[in-house]
Chains A and B, each alone.
Chain A
Amino acid sequence: MSVLDSKVPKGPLKDKWIDYKNHIDLVNPANKRNIDVIVVGTGLAGGSAAATLAELGYNVKTFCYQDSPRRAHSIAAQGGINAAKNYQGDGDSTYRLFYDTVKGGDYRSREANVYRLAEVSANIIDQCVAQGVPFARDYGGLLDNRSFGGVLVSRTFYAKGQTGQQLLLGAYSAMNRQIARGKITPFNRHEMLDVVKVNGKARGIIARNLVTGEIERHSAHAVVIASGGYGNVYFLSTNAMGSNATAAWKIHKKGAFFANPCYTQIHPTCIPRSGDYQSKLTLMSESLRNDGRIWVPKNMDDVMAIREGKKKPTDLSEDERDYYLERRYPAFGNLVPRDVASRAAKERCDAGYGVNATGEAVYLDFASAIERYGKEQAKIHNIKNASAAKIYELGAAIVKAKYGNLFQMYEKIVDQDPYKTPMMIYPAVHYTMGGVWVDYNLMTTVDGLYCIGEANFSDHGANRLGASALMQGLADGYFVLPYTIGDYLSHEIRTGKIPTDSPEFDAAEKEVTDKINFFVNNKGSHSVDYYHKKLGNIMWEKCGMSRNATGLKEAMVEIKALREDFYKNVSVPGKADEFNNELEKAGRVADFLELGELFAKDALAREESCGGHFREESVELDGEQKGEAKRNDKEFAFVSAWEYKGEPGEAVLHKEELEFNEIELKQRSYK
């Protein structure tokens, strides 16, 4: 029997959540006033959780490293949010969203959690509209939808290409209301540096005021971690510069198991790298694949000519282009899930067909979409025998209305006009499905310590579908955690205020200050970024889009060696008691250097290909699916939850076996 208890309620799948809600213990309103909750991170998950918990009457403290909760990286999500509303009448339902998510996640997620997610998805849209989120609408004034990769219905709600921004501002507005009421106390420019456990329960955190450098103690009856994913372990990713794994990693070291760290999503449509100075990668919304067609030249001669600038992509005729996604996956074409699209791009580039100087770029072409829309518009406006220029003009206007801000962003970065020449794209690290292990209640393996949003591992299995991250963050924060945490807190009504002068707080604070003092006094010779870039390089080369046992073993050794070097030779200028960006980075990179090793260890242990995790040793050898990823359900249909044992390389594996009662496990085919 595993030490892991997922606490999934009994009963039929579709009744689990309702029954659960009907039977949990509640806290009466007078008692809620005496209960404190800490929420670390103020993105969609943290922000919505904080607002809802405060509405219920708990005293909430929020922590974020940015200068305002509104800046959390959820803000950068572009494309949209899924919900099983079936407003388009195209056959969507809670079950179908559930099914698509489990299938898209390559059957590595927990059925009950995913079903609950699909169930509450519709409420999210209602809630956000009530808050004043300006979703896109059609001319009848009703909500508009678009379709996203990996599914056959249009269930994605959006607000231009800034859906994440609008949803986050919605959650932030809900926070504002509670801040005004005094129910939320925001601690901005604060970073959580450790969790404090008293008698086995999470009772508070140690945080650093990033302006003054002061170390602060905050106590609470429960702690919620909503600090996002760890994509920055790769140095280059689409995450924000400050996105980090510190909160999640610190709780891991204090007893929270870390699940499936190797499940990383490499997003297929990002702007390619342009040089070594590059600090981050920019995502272009997946929604672009609705209208853009992905291709590389068929002939190597053309590739060379393009790289040397002798030919332009627009010079190539249809016959000379290889629309490789349409060729390989005729059923889904350019709308295959992200992991499939990314690997296909890598396959072409590895074969030498990359179209930019680094050889790491493919084309995303809007010419046929512009023409199609142009002809459509000409018909609508009754223009007979429209000239090619007129059709282009009409079509470009439609494309502009749909993706204008993305096109502008691309042009600003690359200095090329995507209306005239195809965009260049390449996959980049975008999202981490892995994260802190949580049960059905979203509680970690530490009592009173919860983890929500991207920081946990729960709903996306081995691969996340587009527009599902926003859905999960808000589902956790608005509709799941407020119930499940209440069940736990109902046992805390007699606890009283948690003192911060206990030996446990003393010890945690000492650990934190020791670490900080070490960094500022370690007069090394290399900057923090130097190590971060090196780590990123190892991760990308050996734990990137495709992985093999040899590389992963090497990665573990190299990361460990790099970590040792880091502690010897890192240089952190400035002092501990001041605004010190380098010191912040040092702490974060130190944690990445540990997480990276566990990542490789996990990837090594999972000797199958599933979702974002592709093991070169595990591919289909023949038949129609030849060369595609091969999952191994017999041996690997489990969640890998790692327990920290003093060194990341010595972590102990606990397996949560995944049971599929509603869905039959099948080979994912998008052919």
Chain B
Amino acid sequence: MNLTLKIWRQKDAQSKGKMVDYKVTEISEHMSFLEMMDVLNEQLINSGEEPVAFDHDCREGICGMCSMYINGEAHGPDRGVTTCQLHMRMFKDGDTITIEPFRAKAFPVLKDLVVDRGAFDRIQHAGGYISVNTSGNTQDANSLPISKHAADEAMDAATCIGCGACVASCKNSSAMLFVGAKVSQYALLPQGQVEATDRVRNMVAQMDLEGFGNCTNTGACEVECPKGISLENIARMNRELLKSNF
């Protein structure tokens, strides 16, 4: 198929950017979206232009590196996928596709479609861990039974890949789904209880400091999340924060 691409080009963090139109031809419907971008870049390199910079790595939907706001949605129109898993069969011959970086004040653009999601890392530095040293004589793993239900729920929260689609999709650029998932994983497990109070307070404080917006429960994050992280995690974080203050 043949496509028109409207892509955000920005030289670096300091420069102003703009949308630029490109044409690609002979795109197979079996290609992934990023393979289509590879075709465009190969074309640009061969004609002496600078290729479009975009983040990507594992290309199987788990590393969370790829981003892109495609036709007005994070990771494009498909559900439960990252951009690297989005396939061209979702589009039609002759389509115009608008491709922008994830936008939020807390995610500054570094170049073209590449953004800096360091804010997520800093939130995790603030409390995304259980303080346990690597001694080699930690208690036996089975000495602490955890109900299957709690373990499964913690796992569901822990599947977050930290891609930032929640922030990008939220009309308020709120990071609460991400932080809620991280807080929930530990809140659901007995190992996480000891530091629960400080963890939720510190992580929320850091989240606020990074300049993310406030949650108004539109639910867009949950819909766009490639891993289907539930809004329930935000509710749980709210409870955890309330608990930590009383």
Mark contacts of B121-158 with chain A using CB atoms, 8 A cut-off: 1 yes-contact digit, 0 otherwise: 10011111111111011111110111110011011001
Cross-chain contact B134 with A52 (CB below 8 angstroms): yes
Q: Does B233 belong to the interface (CB within 8 Å)?
A: no
Cross-chain contact B59 with A240 (CB below 8 angstroms): yes
Q: Taking CB as reference atom, which chain B residue is nearest A579?
A: B111
Cross-chain contact A120 with B130 (CB below 8 angstroms): no
Q: Please give, as numbers and ranges, the residues of chain B lying within 8 Å of A221 by CB-CB distance.
A: none
Q: Please give, as numbers and ranges, the residues of chain B lying within 8 Å of A409 by CB-CB distance.
A: 60-61, 85
Q: Does A68 belong to the interface (CB within 8 Å)?
A: yes
Q: Taking CB as reference atom, which chain B residue is nearest A125?
A: B141
Assembled-state Cα–Cα distance A55/B145 (Å): 27
- Of B34, B78, B130, B137, the residue contacting A132 (CB under 8 A) is B130
Assembled-state Cα–Cα distance A134/B160 (Å): 13
Assembled-state Cα–Cα distance A126/B142 (Å): 8
Q: Does B117 belong to the interface (CB within 8 Å)?
A: yes
- Of A76, A87, A412, A479, the residue contacting B58 (CB under 8 A) is A76
Chain B contact residue count (CB 8 A cutoff): 80
- Of A51, A165, A188, the residue contacting B118 (CB under 8 A) is A188
CB proximity to A under 8 Å, residues B140-186:
140-142, 144-148, 151-152, 154-155, 158-159, 161-162, 185-186
Q: Does A335 belong to the interface (CB within 8 Å)?
A: no
Cross-chain contact B136 with A120 (CB below 8 angstroms): yes
Mark contacts of A562-580 with chain B using CB atoms, 8 A cut-off: 1 yes-contact digit, 0 otherwise: 0000000001011000110
Cross-chain contact A573 with B50 (CB below 8 angstroms): yes
Q: Please give, as numbers and ranges, the residues of chain B lying within 8 Å of A68 by CB-CB distance.
A: 117-118, 120-121, 162
CB proximity to B under 8 Å, residues A259-293:
274-275, 277-280, 282-283
Q: Please give, as numbers and ranges, the residues of chain B lying within 8 Å of A283 by CB-CB distance.
A: 60
Cross-chain contact B50 with A277 (CB below 8 angstroms): no
Q: Does B38 belong to the interface (CB within 8 Å)?
A: yes
Q: Does A211 belong to the interface (CB within 8 Å)?
A: yes
Cross-chain contact A139 with B130 (CB below 8 angstroms): no
Cross-chain contact B38 with A529 (CB below 8 angstroms): yes
Q: Does A46 belong to the interface (CB within 8 Å)?
A: no
CB proximity to A under 8 Å, residues B185-220:
185-186, 189, 191-192
- Of A126, A242, A278, the residue contacting B57 (CB under 8 A) is A242
Cross-chain contact B64 with A579 (CB below 8 angstroms): no
From B25-33, B93-101, B238-246, the one touching the partner chain is B25-33
- Of B64, B114, B146, the residue contacting A70 (CB under 8 A) is B64
Cross-chain contact A131 with B130 (CB below 8 angstroms): yes
Q: Does B3 belong to the interface (CB within 8 Å)?
A: no
Cross-chain contact B140 with A126 (CB below 8 angstroms): yes
Q: Please give, as numbers and ranges, the residues of chain B lying within 8 Å of A136 by CB-CB distance.
A: 151, 155
Q: Does B62 belong to the interface (CB within 8 Å)?
A: yes
Q: Does A482 belong to the interface (CB within 8 Å)?
A: yes
Q: Does B35 belong to the interface (CB within 8 Å)?
A: yes
Assembled-state Cα–Cα distance A162/B161 (Å): 11
Q: Does A71 belong to the interface (CB within 8 Å)?
A: yes
CB proximity to B under 8 Å, residues A170-202:
172-174, 176-177, 179-180, 186, 188
The verdict on A282 contacting B64 (CB below 8 Å), with A123-B136, A134-B155, A275-B30 known, is no
Q: Taking CB as reference atom, which chain A residue is nearest B61?
A: A409
Cross-chain contact B130 with A527 (CB below 8 angstroms): no
Mark contacts of A116-158 with chain B using CB atoms, 8 A cut-off: 1 yes-contact digit, 0 otherwise: 0000100101111111101111111111000000000000000
Cross-chain contact A574 with B136 (CB below 8 angstroms): no
Q: Taking CB as reference atom, which chain A residue is nearest B47?
A: A573
- Of A141, A162, A169, A278, the residue contacting B146 (CB under 8 A) is A141
Assembled-state Cα–Cα distance A269/B32 (Å): 20
- Of A69, A85, A120, A527, the residue contacting B42 (CB under 8 A) is A527
B189 to chain A, nearest CB (A): 5
Cross-chain contact A581 with B51 (CB below 8 angstroms): yes
Q: Does B1 belong to the interface (CB within 8 Å)?
A: no
Assembled-state Cα–Cα distance A301/B224 (Å): 46
Assembled-state Cα–Cα distance A120/B131 (Å): 21
Q: Please give, as numbers and ranges, the residues of chain A lying within 8 Å of B121 by CB-CB distance.
A: 68-70, 176, 186, 188
B167 to chain A, nearest CB (A): 14
The verdict on A87 contacting B81 (CB below 8 Å), with A71-B57, A132-B189, A169-B158 known, is no
A482 to chain B, nearest CB (A): 7
Cross-chain contact B191 with A129 (CB below 8 angstroms): yes
Mark contacts of A32-70 with chain B using CB atoms, 8 A cut-off: 1 yes-contact digit, 0 otherwise: 000000000000000010011001000000000011111
Mark contacts of A486-498 with chain B using CB atoms, 8 A cut-off: 1 yes-contact digit, 0 otherwise: 0000000000000
Cross-chain contact B158 with A413 (CB below 8 angstroms): no
Assembled-state Cα–Cα distance A478/B56 (Å): 29
Cross-chain contact B134 with A578 (CB below 8 angstroms): no
Mark contacts of A340-352 with chain B using CB atoms, 8 A cut-off: 1 yes-contact digit, 0 otherwise: 0000000000000
- Of B87, B114, B145, B159, the residue contacting A412 (CB under 8 A) is B87
Q: Does B231 belong to the interface (CB within 8 Å)?
A: no
Cross-chain contact B151 with A137 (CB below 8 angstroms): yes
Cross-chain contact A130 with B155 (CB below 8 angstroms): no
Cross-chain contact A282 with B60 (CB below 8 angstroms): yes
Assembled-state Cα–Cα distance A579/B162 (Å): 22
The verdict on A67 contacting B129 (CB below 8 Å), with A129-B141, A137-B146, A573-B50 known, is no
CB proximity to B under 8 Å, residues A64-115:
66-73, 75-76, 85, 87
Cross-chain contact B39 with A277 (CB below 8 angstroms): yes
Cross-chain contact B55 with A130 (CB below 8 angstroms): no
Assembled-state Cα–Cα distance A242/B65 (Å): 11
Q: Taking CB as reference atom, which chain A residue is nearest B123?
A: A176
Cross-chain contact A75 with B142 (CB below 8 angstroms): no
Q: Does A160 belong to the interface (CB within 8 Å)?
A: yes
Assembled-state Cα–Cα distance A413/B110 (Å): 30
Cross-chain contact A176 with B85 (CB below 8 angstroms): no
B133 to chain A, nearest CB (A): 5
Assembled-state Cα–Cα distance A456/B118 (Å): 30
Q: Taking CB as reference atom, which chain B residue is nearest A401?
A: B152
Q: Does A241 belong to the interface (CB within 8 Å)?
A: yes
Q: Taking CB as reference atom, which chain B residue is nearest A169?
A: B158
Cross-chain contact B57 with A130 (CB below 8 angstroms): no
A3 to chain B, nearest CB (A): 33
Q: Please give, as numbers and ranges, the residues of chain B lying within 8 Å of A143 by CB-CB distance.
A: 141-142
Cross-chain contact A482 with B85 (CB below 8 angstroms): no
Cross-chain contact B63 with A130 (CB below 8 angstroms): no
Q: Please give, as numbers and ranges, the residues of chain B lying within 8 Å of A69 by CB-CB distance.
A: 121
Assembled-state Cα–Cα distance A479/B186 (Å): 24
A361 to chain B, nearest CB (A): 14
Q: Does A415 belong to the interface (CB within 8 Å)?
A: yes
Assembled-state Cα–Cα distance A75/B158 (Å): 13
Q: Please give, as numbers and ranges, the residues of chain B lying within 8 Å of A123 by CB-CB distance.
A: 136-138
Q: Does A205 belong to the interface (CB within 8 Å)?
A: no
Cross-chain contact A130 with B50 (CB below 8 angstroms): no
Assembled-state Cα–Cα distance A160/B228 (Å): 15
B240 to chain A, nearest CB (A): 15
The verdict on A127 contacting B138 (CB below 8 Å), with A132-B186, A134-B151, A188-B118 known, is yes
Q: Does A432 belong to the interface (CB within 8 Å)?
A: no
Assembled-state Cα–Cα distance A66/B140 (Å): 34
**Interchain residue pairs with CB less than 8 A apart (27):** A48-B134, A70-B162, A71-B58, A75-B58, A123-B136, A132-B154, A132-B192, A134-B189, A137-B146, A137-B147, A140-B145, A141-B147, A162-B62, A242-B57, A277-B28, A277-B39, A279-B59, A409-B85, A412-B87, A478-B134, A479-B134, A479-B136, A529-B42, A573-B44, A573-B45, A579-B110, A582-B51
The 9 residue pairs across chains A and B that have the minimum distance between CB atoms? A141-B145, A173-B129, A134-B155, A129-B141, A134-B154, A579-B111, A177-B129, A126-B138, A240-B57
* Other A-B pairs beyond A134-B185, A159-B158, 19, CB < 8 Å: A55-B133, A68-B121, A71-B64, A123-B136, A127-B136, A132-B154, A141-B147, A143-B141, A176-B124, A179-B125, A241-B57, A279-B38, A415-B87, A478-B136, A573-B50, A574-B50, A578-B11, A578-B111, A581-B53
Interface of B toward A, CB cutoff 8 Å = 11-12, 28, 30-32, 34-35, 38-39, 42, 44-46, 48-51, 53, 55-65, 78, 80-81, 85, 87, 89, 110-111, 114, 116-118, 120-121, 124-134, 136-142, 144-148, 151-152, 154-155, 158-159, 161-162, 185-186, 189, 191-192
